[in-house]
Every structure is written in structure tokens, then in C-alpha cells.
Structure 1
């Protein structure tokens, strides 16, 4: 960008001025034209008498001839013109000043210097286009704004990451793979390992475990860097006989290798008991899974591991069953409500492995909750995809109902047709909710976000009052 360093101020003059004596007007004109991208000849009042410019850079410069120089620039640039003209009349040496001409497609940034030609009162304004500099400034500003937005997103992501790490009930460690040094540890990890808050960060991982467990942990962490499916290991801490389950997964960041360790206290497997119960549960064709009161997987049979696509039940132990079963925020909440009310849930239709497009394997789920100080929940899941495919079409087929609605055009007003459409959608949603909950009206009302009284009123309205429903 043009600045004071381009001014002739403080620059030594030519030692021999004879070379400039007797210059022809054509030579002076060429010097003035060569000095910039636009040259204006002005009178002492600032009126443009003549002009020469690159037509591509200044397509409207010929229209300026005969106008006041002030009228061709923006308001904020007029003060600069007044200062330059006053200095030129006094014969003072000037530096380049940035002004903006008014253009058809936006402002035209130009850096000007004004030269007094002598006693004839004529002034010459030599300007250099700053369009490229302005474009560079704009790109620089956009790049700076983009960096600031990225920085804000990074700060927000870091804040969310820190909040999740701090509030997570699961013990989590972030460990360097090269030296097994702990770089991140949440409060749950400090509590589980019996360490003071903040003391784990920067310390070595392996000394926290008994000497006989360290080789197994090194093998686990090495396997985690090479594979995504690594079964958890049970390791004993250095003090006492406390055992914890360690799950590891590896990732790379900024050229370094890191490990994410999930720690959980080991729990005895309630399914693994002696006698025929263990054999029956392990061999049953339906999927069985046992969770704790927080819906975290404690045990399960082979059929459940195959249903969710896990290599073994150990791979998912400690994870929420909601990661594999049900639609987020709907099915498990419905099941929790039924378990809290009656201690069991029967024949709930749900899905396993729901995808972003809403797909998944349809299953029928039943659950029961134990009583006592340490309650657990047992789930039985049975795939019903083939059964659903074999069901005959319902009497209330949506496309046929839509066709019936379109046939009303010309016989009813649009307002009445819209009311009929609303009633149709409401009736179909109620039917779907009753089907989904196996005619359990309390559960259907909960899914639809209605009170029981509102649902009963709508059932009477649409002729479902006499339908058989399971007791609430």
C-alpha cells in the first residue's frame, strides 16, 4: 500500500536541474501520465480541466472533465482533497493520500499526490489505483475473520470436550502411546484409582497397576493402535486387590499416537452361575442382556452379541444399551417408565442398530427389573423383521386415504379438506401408537405427548373406544 515512504518529502533533489530545462509540453505530459494510473489537470479551485487514465481502471473518467474534483469522490474523502489542494497552493511537499472515487460498481480507491505547476495556477493530481491493494486487504480481512471463527469454534469444542470429560460418570484417561504418560484424566478416573484430584495428569500409567498386570496392559494398548475391536482387560491396581476393567482405543493427532482408556470397576457376571440357568441363557435363540440400574451392559449371551454385531459381549460391557437398542430419547424412556410403574415391560416394538435414515432391525423387547439395593434390568430381544414383512396390509392404507381426500376437491371447501386431512393424520398417528405399544393406551399417550384423558377423548371421536386395549 502507498504510504509516506513513497512521498518525495525528505528525498534529495537532483543536483543538476538543467536536464529538466526546456522540456517540451509533450514530455511533461508523458512524465505526468507515467507517474500514475490517472492524471488530472486542475485549476486552483479544484475543478477538473483535463484528465488522462486507463479506461479499464477508470471507465468514467471522461465524465469528470469539467466537474469539481470534490463531486467525484465520496463524502469522507472530500476533507482529504481540501487538505491536498491547500498544501499544493502553498507549494508544500505532499505525500500520497487515499481517496475513494464514486463508481457505478462501487468505490474506486486511488492514492493521489497534487503538484503545483507554477504561476499559472494549474495543479496536477497524479493518482495510482489501489484496487489490487484493496482486494488484498479484503482477502486479508476475510482470512482474519475466518481464523477468528475457527478459533471460536475451537474454543467452543474445547469447552464442550472439557465439560463432557469433567461430567462423565465413566473414568477416562488420555495417554501418550510412546511413554504411557497420562495427559488427561477426568474426576471419575481419580476417584476410581484412589488418587487426589489433578494428581494423575503428567504421571506414568503403568505404576498405577500391580507389577504382574503391566505386560498385559502394554499388550492391550499395542493392540488398540492396530485394531478397533479389542476386548477389555481386567487388571489389578497396585494397592490391594481392587480390579478394574480397562478398554483401550487408539488415535493419531498432530503426528503423535494417543490412547483413550475407559476404566470401570469389575462386576461379577450375574448370568455366569453354576447350574442349568447359565446353560439355558447362553444357548437360548433370543438375545438376552443384563444391565445395571443406569442401563449399562453388565452381561449378555452370544445371541445378543450377534444381534448388535459385536465380536463378544466383553466388547460392549459397560456401555449403555441405548447405544445399540431403540430410538434415541423414545424407546428407552418408554421402557423406563413402564419398569418404574410395574417392574416390567412386555412386547415393546423397537429397533436394533438404528441408522441416520431411520432404518434398523425391528425387534420385540421385553424387560424386567429386579428389586433390592442393587437393581438390575434383564432384556429379551426377538427379531421380528420377517413377521412384519408377512403381515397383510392394514385397512387404513395412507395412499388410498390421500386419494379419497383429493377426490373431495370441488365438492368441499379447502378449509374443510384441510380439517379432514388433519383428522386423518391424527387418526393414523393414534393407530400407529397403539400398534407400536401393543394397544397399551398409557404408553401410546406418552409417545404421542398427550394426557390419557385427551387420548381417550380422541379414541371416542375416531371410533376406537370399543377396541381391545391392554390394561394401563
Structure 2
């Protein structure tokens, strides 16, 4: 700090009033503190600051650190300790407590007066600087939010661009080169993600198609729009419909090129080679495969399904309900689709498949549900299990199921069939228990069960219990 050279001569004899005026004029707020650190007087040079800190009379007699925010008390104590130094006095940011409970930022520096121990704290109002910093922070936060929105918008654009089912290219009109392509365009043009962009756009077409596309681009540049043209690809000879839409970016004009499939080929779908092979395999597998909509009507079916249902071609099946050929109409397909919606894939659902001419085939069905954009569709893999099952004997075919097997049939067969199966299980268990209790004495077992011996023999043959003579006689 560089002081006055001759203050006594230049300032003269200053009384207390003149000194007070000088001190008040030198700062926005001035606080006089005694040797004990208590506030003795306060002066303001700013009317707005005085109104903000209304009620400063309550500070008089209180320690100065008690009049500031808790985070500034250590700074005030440091100011009072450094006030008597001879070097440069530091300025510290102090938050004064306002009457409304808020805090007012003030930049303070303190000076010790004479030998009395009193000190004067000169304060500069930082409210405008604080407000400017706050606006700067809000502006930075606003920029960050805008940048985040732009980045999210770009991410959404790129995702939509890549997932677009039609082949789409971005063309630099000045250089006539492709700058960006989506996945569908890569598959159509035989490109790979590692292959660099920058290919001449017109080189994609044959000589005749090149002329038509060149006229299209000229029309778009001249009028901003043009009708689509039909052109043939150079590499594989495929026909495509080429349409273009202009847009500007960074003072450069680009074209959004869409390569559509002609109307006659609208049902064609561009698929990777691996997926195409998979579809061919599904078409040729010996097991039937059917795809239905959520209403249960057939959308497509392979050749094996047509063989099982005795249909001549796929057109006879498309649009028809699958339950027309499956199990019990109105029951089993409803059970399958309800299980697909609620629990996911279904495996090894046993039922029958009826042909158009009365043939019946024992089958097992595995089914899955997938989304196709508008709603779920169901895929059914149907396997013929009849040939691998040996023809059952009469007794075996009529043998009752176990309790576990009955439980598995719930939802697959009507209730009356389940009741009949359960009755057979109970009847067989009772007969086995009676034979065991009577030591395999069938006369006593028949009497215990309330049956005639002939009725007992019929049931024994039905369930395959014991060795019975061919004529039905019994020695027990």
C-alpha cells in the first residue's frame, strides 16, 4: 500500500465530522468496530443498500461476526486481525445478514485507527456483480440444456435414419457424391459399415438410368421438387424408384435420396442374405410353420402345413382362421393365444390337426408371440408326432393318466374329458387297493367293491391289471 506523502499538510486539521464524511464517501458501507470487535457505528453511501440492510441499528453493540452469515464469520475475524498490519490489506467477500433473512454480498477491507484499537471496515456493494454472475450462470445452464436437446435430437435423427425400412442416401449436390447411407441402402448397394462413403451417386445406375436420375437432380435443383423416376441399378440390375428432397446445412445444399421398390414389387422386402437363407429353410423344413395375426387368421404358412391340411396352395390358407384345422374349434387356439399373451412362449402343446379331406394327425405345437409394428403376431411350429408313436393296445389306449398328467391337461382339453380321466384314475386306484387288501383274491375284491365278478374282470382287462385267462374264468 502506498500512503499519502504529507497527510498533515495536504489534509489539514480534520475534525470528526469531516472524517466521518470522508469515510462514508469512500465506501458503499462503512462499519466502525471497537477493540473488542463490537460494532459501534454504521454508515451507508447507497440508499438501496441501506434499504436492503434495514434495521442495522440492531448491530450496534453486537460483535461484528454475529451480524454476518455463518460462512463469513471466519473471514470477519481474519479481517480484524489483519487490520493493524502495515502491508497491503486484503479484501474479503462477506455476506451480511439482511432484515428479510437473505444475505447481501459485500467486499470488505479493514483499517485499524491509532492506538485506541478501533478499526474501520470499508465495504463495496457486490450485488450487481453477483446478479451478473447469476445471469451468466443461468445463460451457461441454458446453453447446456440447448446443447443437450440438440444432441438428443441428433441421436433420434440418426436412429430413425438407420431404422428407416426404405433405402435412403444423403447426397452432396456440389460434388455429386454420397455422404451418408442408412442400413437398408447398405444392403441394397452391397455396402458394409467399414466401406468408406464418397461414391459417385450416378455410378450406382446403368447408362439409361443415369440419364433419368441426372434429369431428376437437375429438376430438384431448379424447382426444389421433382417427380420420382424409375432407374435400373448397375450392379444387380434391380429396378428402383428414385425420389429426392433438398435441404440446407451449413450453407451447403444436400439432397435426401429415397430408393423405393416399384409397385409391382411392393411386397418384396430387402433382407440380409443370412435372413433370406433362414426363410428358405423355414419354407422347406418337414415341420409345419404358420404365422397368424392377433385375430388368429393365417398370414403365411410353409409347404409342410399345406401337406398336413391337404391344401393345394398357400392362398387357400391365407386369411382363414387357424382353428379351422386345429384341434377343437374355439377352444385350443384360444388357450394357446391366451398363454402366449400372458406367459410367453408355449412348448409341446399336444393336439390334433385336421385335413380338408378328413385326415387327422397327432401333433405337438410350440408357439411364440412377436410384435410386428401394429400389434402382436403369433408363430406356430407344428410337428407331426403320429408316426413315432407305436399303435397302442386296447388296454393301454384306455389306461387312465396319472394325477400329474391330468394337471398338465388343464386348459388343453374340455372339462368333461378331464372328469372322465379323473374318474378312471380313482377307479383304478380303488381296484388296486382292494386286490392288495384281499391278497389278490378277486372274488373277495369284487365283494369289497360291490361289483360282480364279471364286472371286476371287465375293469381288470380295461386297466391291464393282473393276468386273466382268455375265457374270463378265474380260480381266485
- 1:213–1:236 CA contact under 8 A, matched in 2: yes
- 2:169–2:257 CA contact under 8 A, matched in 1: yes
Q: Aligned residue for 2:200?
A: 204
Q: TM-score, normalised by structure 2?
A: 0.52
CA pair 248-143 structure 1, distance change in 2 beyond 3 A: same
1:79-118, aligned counterparts within 5 Å? 79-103=74-98, 104=100, 106-118=102-114
Question: Is 1:292 the equivalent of 2:267?
Answer: yes
Deviations 1:307-361 (A, max 9, x none): xxxxxxxxxxxxxxxxxxxxxxxxxxxx9545x61569xxxxxxxxxxxxxxxxx
Question: Is 1:195 the equivalent of 2:191?
Answer: yes
CA pair 198-180 structure 1, distance change in 2 beyond 3 A: farther
Question: Is 1:58 the equivalent of 2:50?
Answer: yes
- 2:35–2:116 CA contact under 8 A, matched in 1: no
Aligned mate of 1:172, from 165, 168, 180 = 168
Question: Is 1:219 the equivalent of 2:215?
Answer: yes
Shift of 1:32: 1.8
SS in 2 for 1:58: helix
* Counterparts of 2:87 and 2:77, CA distance in 1: 14
* Counterparts of 1:50 and 1:225, CA distance in 2: 79
What is the RMSD computed on CA atoms of the aligned residues?
Answer: 3.2
Shift of 1:198: 4.3
CA pair 119-215 structure 1, distance change in 2 beyond 3 A: farther
1:354-369, aligned counterparts within 5 Å? none
* Counterparts of 2:205 and 2:239, CA distance in 1: 9
Q: Aligned residue for 1:22?
A: 13
CA pair 43-238 structure 1, distance change in 2 beyond 3 A: same
SS in 2 for 1:56: helix
Aligned mate of 1:185, from 160, 181, 187 = 181
* Counterparts of 2:12 and 2:182, CA distance in 1: 84
* Counterparts of 2:90 and 2:152, CA distance in 1: 46
Aligned mate of 2:67, from 67, 72, 75 = 72
Q: Aligned residue for 2:297?
A: 341
Deviations 1:126-148 (A, max 9, x none): 11111111111111111111111
Shift of 1:150: 1.6
Deviations 1:70-89 (A, max 9, x none): 12211000010011111114
CA pair 45-203 structure 1, distance change in 2 beyond 3 A: farther
Shift of 1:161: 2.0
Deviations 1:410-429 (A, max 9, x none): xxxxxxxxxxxxxxxxxxxx
- 1:37–1:127 CA contact under 8 A, matched in 2: yes
CA pair 56-148 structure 1, distance change in 2 beyond 3 A: same
**Which consecutive unaligned segments of at least 5 residues does structure 1 have?**
1-7, 270-290, 295-334, 345-369, 377-445, 448-472
1:40-439, aligned counterparts within 5 Å? 40-53=31-44, 54-59=46-51, 60=54, 61-103=56-98, 104=100, 106-199=102-195, 201-224=197-220, 230-266=226-262, 268=264, 292=267, 337-338=294-295, 341=297, 371=314
SS in 1 for 2:242: strand
CA pair 105-230 structure 1, distance change in 2 beyond 3 A: farther
Shift of 1:152: 1.7
Deviations 1:37-82 (A, max 9, x none): 1111111222111111123213213442333211221100001001
Q: TM-score, normalised by structure 1?
A: 0.53
Q: Aligned residue for 1:460?
A: none
Deviations 1:170-208 (A, max 9, x none): 211122222223222112212111223243523332232
Aligned residues: 280
Q: Aligned residue for 1:281?
A: none
CA pair 58-214 structure 1, distance change in 2 beyond 3 A: farther
Q: Aligned residue for 1:409?
A: none
Deviations 1:222-250 (A, max 9, x none): 44456676432122233352332212111
* Counterparts of 2:299 and 2:183, CA distance in 1: 33
**Which consecutive unaligned segments of at least 5 residues does structure 2 have?**
270-291, 301-312, 320-373, 376-476
SS in 1 for 2:193: coil
- 2:212–2:230 CA contact under 8 A, matched in 1: no
Shift of 1:27: 3.7
* Counterparts of 2:6 and 2:177, CA distance in 1: 76
* Counterparts of 1:70 and 1:52, CA distance in 2: 18
